[in-house]
Structure 1
Amino acid sequence: MVKACTGSSDPYCIVKIDDEAIIRTATVWKTLSPFWGEEYEVQLQPGFHSISIYVMDEDALSRDDIIGKVCITRDMLAEHPKGYSGWMSLSEVDPDEEVQGEIHLQVEVLGSQGSRRLRCSVLEARDLARKDRNGASDPFVRLRYNGKTQESTVVKKSCYPRWNETFEFELAEPAGEKLCVEVWDWDLVGRNDFLGKVVFSVQGLEVAGQEEGWFRLWPDKSKPTEDGDETVLPSPCSQPLVQLLCQEVKSGRQDGQVHLVTLLDETTTAECRQEVAINLVKLFLGQGLVKEFLDLLFELELAKPCEPNTLFRSNSLASKSMESFLKVTGMPYLHFVLGPTITRVFEEKKYVELDPGKVEIKDVGCSGLHRVQTEGEVIEQGRQHLQSYLGELLDAIVRSAPACPPLIRAAFRQLFQRVGERFPQHQHAKFVAVTSFLCLRFFSPAVMTPKLFQLRATHADARTSRTLLWSARWCLQRGHG
């Protein structure tokens, strides 16, 4: 993209891991051949899908334009274990397809024949795409039905807005139209940015009467259906599947029976298994059967040939479901346990490095009495700092039992019992199974990247990231027994 007035651009880059923006480079002014020469080190979650690098054109008067992007998938990195270096072609980006997040709605059909209304209550949204320079958006909701449009108020500087507004339309006869709920980012200068949409079948709503819940926002040009819209079907359409899943979970594991959750495990790819797991966890939480669901998964997983020391280390549906369950139900507990120590690490910014090959030697002492620290002194000082953080963290974990949600404690009791029954000769296995989830899949990722778990508002700088990495490794060691 070239500005007509200058014949050049003001490019910079934004780096995203999946949908999370983590890096913004400096802007190189008035050039079509920018050189940045910047280097960053970030920690990747085991389940990440891709790294996207967006090349942007900064504009002082209106919103910045997207010049193009490159996408590096996890499979591409696996093919280059020593790293990738080379030129890649920029692909075009449609801003209307760069969406994320969910919106909480209640939609219902009211009134009797001849005088019916379509009511939509717009409650809140979460994890919306960040479109503005301040790292947030100014979202509002636009509703379209039967040629008419209504809009909500604008919530400034928020990716987690609350509206609590209700809108009504006169229901068309016949009610064949669709209700489209769009989320937009309001801009004072330039056009508004599209943040995603949900489309409801009004005909289906007439059957269901009411739909309420969190709905995923979809791009404007997604084409899973013939008319180009991802339409939310009413709950009666999915009720037979929900009933079948609930019946299976209530019945428990049956010898010789092929279970539906096993088929889901075997027919989903590793990339989409996380999404399947989170949806199943939310489904069974709503049905009050999440303990029974996890217990069935534990039994099915333990029925396979497995070693006691490597239980639940794979990315099976059981592992992903337990991981998702901990995140959905245990975030306040996680903040209670890790919050004080993470805050201390960020505020103190102590230098912690235990790898002799990466130690930075520096001068110490007062004016006129400078001397160079030895490598051993730097490592010992870092070890003491780390020991202090880990001692505080271990004490917090030990004292946290009363704060742990009863539902999580119940799930761990089930896991502890099932593993003990499966490996009666290996009593340590049941402890390893519990700590592998609690430490490897819950505490350790949160320590390594606290922003992704809402423990911090921003990502850590290089020095703090190194301290967090060493702390997370301790959690990993605990998880490995």
Structure 2
Amino acid sequence: MAPNAGTQVRLEQRLKVKLGEAKNLLARSHGSVGVRDIYCVLSLDQEPIFRSATVEKTLDPFFGEEFQFDIPREFRFLSVYVYDRDRPMKTDKIFGKVSIKREDLTKHNGKDQWLAITPVDADSEVQGKVLVRIQLKSLRHMNDAAPQPMVEVKIEECSDLCIVNGSCDPYAVVTMHYTNKKQENKRTKTKKKTAAPHFDETFFFEQQASSSATSRNSSSGNNNNTSSSSSMIGPAEGGSNTYSLSAATAAGDELGGFQCLQVAMWHESAGMFGNVFLGEVRVPLHNLTATRDLNVWYLLQPRQSSVRHSSGGSSSSKATGLGSLRLNLHYSCTHVFPSPLYDTLRSLLLHTAHQKPVRSSVGWLLGEVCGNNKQEAAVPLTRVLLQNNQAVPFIANLAALEMYQVTDPNTIFRGNTLASKCMDELMKLSGQHYLKETLKPAIDQVCREKKPCEVDPARIPSTENRDTNLANLCEYTNTILRSINNSALSCPPVMCQIFSELREHANAIFPNQREVRYSVISGFIFLRFFAPAILGPKLFDITKHQIDMSTLRTLTLISKTVQGVGNLVSSRNLNHTCKEEYMRDVFALCTNNKLVDAARTFLEIISCMPNGNLKAYDTPVILREGVMIKRAQ
């Protein structure tokens, strides 16, 4: 359905920034010579959005952080400012920045790149915009045989100007550049304590006359033949409206035509460094006519001499020598129409949930249209269906189709299919609180204690003992596995419902392979839910602790072990095949029969329907004493 003219369209922008690491930073020349305490600030234009943790005493800091957020307004630059925390001076100094124009974000979208850190100076740090009205009028002097052109410039207002040291006292300098290389400057009054000043001041500029001009023209040019005249010409008199600048410049070289209008914004400062540049705009005037006025918001730009390659995000650090920053950006920009325009599509999507065969449904076709990028279809589709309580039947139908098509049960849901992507999104939306409640105490303990856990002989420092590290790793891993196995009753009902459907389909399609009833669930809950959260707890908002390289390595080893447990639960043979030889001892200590049985019990419980209705294959689960069946929450 095409939108009608005048339909309000909402722009939704979303940005995900993975801040990896920096390398080859320029060493400090004072204080702690040779090292720096580095942190980064992510900004839109010059508005800070997120700040990373500080990595101390290094020139190659590793951050490993991810920020994702909705962008509520238009912006021009995404910048990552690199700060050096200077303890002796008790100040934080800007070391450099990586800056990328909004229109260039698509070039970097989804790419893991090293970008050059470039210097920061006041002339290039601009933001905001200015509203300028430009009109061409005619002016007839007493001795003129014909009216002469005159440009009227009105500086109306500005918005979102840069704040300098906590304040902004802006004024504008208006400069007319003539074709004979002369200039004429005029200035507005200063507006105090505002980043959105209203000036409403008008200036007039006449043509400049050269020294060889005729006496007829000299009478109109004597007041404007200096390069910085500040006098204001009076209002234009009535005359012809057909005059154009192109006709004036063709008349000869004795008159200086209007070439370009420059409006520069400044912050008035009484400090030792004087006034601060806020940005400028340059407007060519060769197409200006009496019938074509300009009344436009202009984005402020850096001073022309200060424009650098940094705006495009250079991939080399040789030009500046400050170092490089590793970033991975994901930017999306969506135009959203009013809700009623989507009623037909919404109805089709909701009908998707129960449509048989599922391949004829709009949801399936949407996934096919997206090709290999199933995530693009799965995210909005799952959200719409989940909002209307239709997500479970649709995902169950997709899962059943995938089970029927698979040739090896061990590969079910291991690919990036529409079913697996929809399931990932459902767990993400409904399981965040459960994830945090289950993992946070154990993850916080790992980040707080920072016990050495490296078990790879090739990576163990000479000061550490492998047996001690192995014991530490097993302690952390068992703590997390116990937390997971004891969390069954906290599993969100909608996740239990879909796990129950998966289990029922597995029993029906693979009646002689009872272990599949576990693999279809463990493949999601262990491999795609818990393991990624353990590997990147800050990405899932599980911990606020700074994660250094050693702790990240510990979490990686724990995540590997949790994935191994997920695989063993659905295996007939408890002898785990290790891809890395150094992990063999870890699996031997952490994947015993008791722990695997506890994990299977956990899977049994979360795959029972929350309303307590039992399927034909459901049997009570024996837990030490008595009988326990999961009831509605």
Length-normalised TM-score, structure 2: 0.42
Distance, in Å, in 2 between the alignment partners of 1:451 and 1:288 is 30
What is the alpha-carbon distance in structure 2 between the residues aligned to residue 94 and residue 333 of structure 1? 44
Aligned residues of 2:18 and 2:65 also touching (Cα < 8 A) = no
Which is richer in strand? 2
1:345 correspondence with 2:446: yes
Shift of 1:29: 7.6
1:286 counterpart residue number: 387
Matched, 1:397 2:499: no
- The aligned residue for residue 11 of structure 1 is none
Match of 1:254 in 2: 357
User: Percent identity over the alignment?
Assistant: 25
Q: For the Cα contact (< 8 Å) 1:43–1:448, is it kept in 2?
A: no
Match of 1:19 in 2: 17
Structure 1 CA distance for aligned equivalents of residues 278 and 381 of structure 2: 38
Query: C-alpha offsets along residues 107-140 of structure 1, whole Å, 9 cap, x if unaligned?
Result: xxxxxxxxxxxxxxxxxxxxxxxxx9xxxxxxxx
| Cα 1:326–1:94 shift into 2, 3 Å | farther
Counterparts in 2 of 1:95 and 1:342: CA distance versus 1, 3 Å: farther
Structure 2 stretches of 5 or more lacking a match? 1-14, 30-34, 36-57, 67-77, 85-91, 119-123, 128-162, 164-275, 280-329, 569-633
Offset from partner CA, 1:218-277 (integer Å, 9 cap, x none): 98xx7xxxxxxx6421112111111112112133x328x62322222222144x422421
Q: For 2:364, what is the secondary structure of its paired residue?
A: helix
TM-score of the two chains, using structure 1 as the length reference:
0.54
The offset of 1:443, in angstroms, is 0.4
Equivalent positions of 1:6-405 (< 5 A) are 18-23=16-21, 28=26, 38=60, 40=62, 66=98, 231-251=335-355, 253-254=356-357, 258-270=360-372, 272-362=373-463, 378-405=465-492
AA at the equivalent of 2:411 = T
1:434 aligns with 2:521: yes
Corresponding residue for residue 532 of structure 2: 445
For the Cα contact (< 8 Å) 2:448–2:545, is it kept in 1? no
The code of the aligned residue for 2:450 comes to: K
Q: CA deviation at 1:41?
A: 9.0
CA displacement at 1:22 relative to structure 2: 4.2
Q: Deviations over 1:392-437 (max 9, x none)?
A: 1222122111111111111111111112212112111120110110
Matched to 1:254, the amino acid is P
Looking at structure 1, the residues matched to 553 and 383 of structure 2 have their Cα atoms a distance apart, in angstroms, of 35
Are residues 400 and 388 of structure 1, via their aligned partners in 2, closer, same or farther at CA, if it must alter by over 3 Å?
A: same
Say what the alpha-carbon RMSD is for the aligned residues: 4.2
SS of 2:511's equivalent in the other structure is: coil
Determine helix, strand or coil for the equivalent of 1:312: coil
Q: 1:190 to 1:407 in 2, by over 3 A?
A: farther
Q: Provide the C-alpha distance between the structure 1 equivalents of 2:412 and 2:398, rounded to a whole number of angstroms.
A: 13
In 2: Cα distance, 1:463 partner to 1:282 partner: 37
Following superposition, the deviation at residue 359 of structure 1 comes to: 1.0
Distance 2:345 2:422 in 1: 18
Separation in 2, partners of 1:267, 1:190: 50
CA–CA separation in structure 2 for the residues paired with 1:455 and 1:398: 18
CA contact (8 A) 2:455 2:466 kept: yes
1:62–1:360 Cα change, 3 Å: closer
Gaps of 5+ in 1: 1-16, 45-52, 78-83, 97-131, 133-188, 193-216, 223-229, 363-372
Shift of 1:329: 0.3
Change (3 A) 1:379 1:27: closer
Q: Show the counterpart of 2:544.
A: 457
Checking the alignment, whether the CA contact within 8 Å between 1:22 and 1:459 is kept in structure 2 is no
8 Å contact 1:312–1:319 — kept in the other structure? yes
Amino acid in the other structure paired with 2:385: F
Is this contact kept in 1: 2:534–2:559, CA < 8 A?
yes
Question: What is the distance in 2 between the residues matched to 1:347 and 1:40?
Answer: 18
The question of whether the paired residues in 1 share the 8 Å contact of 2:454 and 2:466 is answered with yes
1:316 and 1:95 map into 2 onto residues whose CA distance is 45
Native 8 Å contact 2:451 2:472 kept in 1: yes
Letter in 2 for 1:261: G
2: CA distance, partners of 1:295 / 1:445: 23
> Is the 1:342–1:447 contact (alpha carbons within 8 Å) kept by the matching residues of 2?
yes
Cα distance in 2 for residues equivalent to 1:446 and 1:190: 46
For residue 67 of structure 1, report the CA deviation from its aligned partner.
Answer: 5.0
Q: Secondary structure at the match of 1:452?
A: coil
Q: Spell out, residue by residue over 1:333-390, the C-alpha distance to the aligned partner (whole angstroms, 9 max, x if none).
A: 111111111011011100001111111121xxxxxxxxxx6xxxx2211111111112
In the alignment, the residues of structure 2 paired with residue 72 and residue 379 of structure 1 have an alpha-carbon distance, to the nearest angstrom, of 42
| Cα drift, residue 42 of structure 1 | 5.6
Partner of 1:468: 555
Q: 1:30 to 1:348 in 2, by over 3 A?
A: closer
How far apart, CA to CA, are the structure 2 residues paired with 1:26 and 1:385?
A: 33
Residues 160-214 of structure 1: CA deviation (Å, up to 9, x unaligned) = xxxxxxxxxxxxxxxxxxxxxxxxxxxxx9989xxxxxxxxxxxxxxxxxxxxxx
| Higher Cα Rg, which structure | 2
8 Å contact from structure 2 (residues 535, 559) kept in 1: yes
Which whole-Å CA distance do the structure 2 matches of 1:56 and 1:334 have between them?
Answer: 32
- Residue 27 of structure 1, CA deviation: 5.7
Q: Identify if the C-alpha distance between structure 1 residues 40 and 58 changes in structure 2 by more than 3 Å, giving closer, same or farther.
A: closer
Q: Quick one: structure 1 residues 55 and 290, their matched pair in 2 at CA, closer, same or farther if it must change by over 3 Å?
A: closer
Report if the CA contact (8 A) 1:57-1:67 is conserved: no
1:246 is paired with a residue of what secondary structure? helix
Displacement of 1:451 after TM fit?
0.1
Segment drifting more, 349-358 vs 293-302: 293-302
Question: How many positions carry a matched residue from both structures?
Answer: 303
Q: Which AA in structure 1 matches 2:60?
A: E
> Aligned partners of 1:231 and 1:266: how far apart in 2?
22
- Residue aligned with 2:360, SS: coil
Say which SS state the counterpart of residue 250 (structure 1) adopts. coil
Partner SS for 1:20 = strand
